[in-house]
Each structure stands twice: as structure tokens, then as C-alpha cells.
Amino acid sequence: MNRRYRKTIIAGNWKMNKTPKEARSLVDAIRPLVSKAKWCTTVLCVPFVDISPALKATRATKIAIGAQNMHWEASGAYTGEVSAQMLVEMGVKYVIVGHSERRQYFGETDEIVNKKVLAAMEAGLKPIICVGETLEERELGITEERIRLQVKRALHGVNVENIRRLVVAYEPIWAIGTGKTATVEQASEVCTLIRDTIRELFGARAARSVTIQYGGSMNAENAAGLLSQLNIDGGLIGGASLKPESFKAIVDAANQ
Ligand code: 13P
């Protein structure tokens, strides 16, 4: 991480876990554990129905609440969807866009991801854009092409002024929920590639302001090593974000 130019952000992605009541208890448990994190922003990306209890439980704290998805239109006949404006009005600050689970199970394409990124930024939300290669792509040696393509397509048409509100999460698909983590070298190499790609598109100043996270089985044991890298500015945490002590340990590692 490099705090001179950009924020260090540890974000929990709860995925489809916790009912509203359970969410309240989990936030109550996490809140005191992360309250001393001065150098790192803590974000909890919760299911839509948990947003309200999570916001209540984090009132007057520095913990920000994020959503895990949104629709790109402001309103209209899109049954079951939630717009960026709806999230903003509630007090949501971040939104995960293009998580590999959404790409895999819900058919999200790079084009859809791009529309969501533009809509999120327009509404004032900070998108956490997820990119990552499959195991097959890594083995074929096309990780670099895959990542560059995803970043370029996700950021197509984004105004350079908005780039500093951007978060990109590198989540190798083979490391998600598998207990397998990318090595520090692998994670650092791809996070550096992401920044280089943003630099090509938007220039050096914009590129150095972007928070780039690693995600994929990040935990209390491996967080410090990953976060020691110049181009890894935080983490997007799945499983470990549901365990208060583990999440605390990751926030502590980022706060060093
Ligand atoms: P795990 O930390 O459970 O591997 O999940 C990572 C992830 O998908 C975060 O978005």
C-alpha cells in the first residue's frame, strides 16, 4: 500500500449471508474491533435487506456500508432490481460491480459491468470493480490479456475526474472461497498491471490515486504479506469478513 496517494480499504463482502437480525449482531460484534483503524477505511458490503440495519449499527462510526450489486438504469420496469440512486439515498457509499459470481451465475458481461460503473459514478457511489482470471486462463498464460481487457472495458467512457473514486479488486477466480491464495508475487504482479493499465488510459496522476485491492481467500494469516506490496491497497474479503476476529486481524494488518 501507499497511503500518500490513495486510501487503504478493507471491504467485507458478505455475499448472500446474514438475515437483517443476524446482520445487526455481526456489525455490533465487528464495530468495536475495527474502531481504532486510523489508516484504513473499513467497508461492509452487505445484502440489500441488511443495508438498513447495517447503517443503523454503524451510525456515527467511520465504517462505510456498501452494496453488492445495482442496476445501471435510474428507475423503470426492471423487476427485482435496485438502482444507484436508491442506494445513495439510503446512505450507501460503495457498490461491488462485476464480482465473478455475478459474471458466472447471472451472466454479467464486461459491457454490463461498464454500464454499472458509469451509473454508479454518476450517482456518486464508489464502485469496487472486480476483475480476475480463471484457473484455465492462468494456466494458458493469458492472465495479463484477460485482466487488461476487463479493466479497459469496465472503464470505457469514465471521466478522468471520477477515477480517484474508483476501487479495483483483483480477485483470481481460482482463489475465491477455495482457501487457495495467490502468492504475494502473483497478486502484486497483477495489481501492478492493473495500475499500469489505468495509467495508460487516464495518466499517471489518476492511476496513483486508485485503490487496488486483492481478494481471494485473504485471511488473518496472509493479509500482512499481501498488504506489504506497494500496489496492493487493501482487500475484498469474503469468508473471513463473517468472522469478527479474523476481519479485525485483516483490518489491523492494513492499519500498520
Ligand atoms: P473469499 O475471501 O471467501 O475467498 O471470497 C473472496 C471474494 O469473493 C470477495 O469478493
Beta bridge partners of 131: 170
pLDDT, tens digit only, all 256 positions of the chain? 888 899 999 999 999 999 999 999 999 999 999 998 889 999 999 999 999 999 999 999 999 999 999 999 999 999 999 999 999 999 999 999 999 999 999 999 999 999 999 999 999 999 999 999 999 999 999 999 999 999 999 999 999 999 999 999 999 999 998 888 899 999 999 999 999 999 999 999 999 999 999 999 999 999 999 999 999 999 999 999 999 999 999 999 999 8
Radius of gyration of the chain (CA): 17
**Cβ-Cβ contacts under 8 Å for 248 (sequence gap 6 or more):** 30, 33, 34
d(CA 12, CA 1): 18
| Ligand 1 pocket at CB < 6 A | 13, 99, 171, 176-177, 215-218, 236-240
The predicted model scores a pTM of 0.97
Residue 12, amino acid? G
**Cβ-Cβ contacts under 8 Å for 153 (sequence gap 6 or more):** 110, 111, 113, 114
d(CA 17, CA 182): 25
Q: Is 71 a catalytic residue?
A: no
- The number of residues making up the chain comes to 256
Mutate to test the pocket of ligand 1, among 134, 214, 217 (most ligand atoms within 8 A of CB): 217
CA 3 to chain centre: 18
